[in-house]
Amino acid sequence: MIFSSNRSGGYGGNDIYISFRKTDGTWTKAINLGPEINNNDMQLWPYASPDGKFLFYINLEGRGNGEVYWLDAGILRDLRS
């Protein structure tokens, strides 16, 4: 599960986190995707492409200007291991 949250300990604004479902049906502790993605702007609406190859999200700056970013979803596979 990929989500955006303004929980404490982030980089500012909303950050993007991921949690993985374990074989027993419970979820791992949420992992912040780090400073390569998150910054003091708001990172919102993360979405993985249906084929699992890309991660899309919006970076919303303080003045309300937003841009769509996309990157290889390999970062998510790396966090799982």
**What global pTM score does this model have?**
0.89
pLDDT of residue 16: 97
3-state secondary structure of 4: strand
Indicate the pLDDT class of residue 47, thresholds 50, 70 and 90: very high
Using alpha carbons only, how large is the chain's radius of gyration in Å? 13
Percent of the chain's residues with pLDDT above 90: 78
DSSP character string of 6-68: --TTSSSS-EEEE--B-TTS-BPPPEE--TTT--SSEEEEEEE-TTSSEEEEEEE-TTS-EEE
3-state secondary structure of 76: helix
Token digits of residue 13 = 């604004």
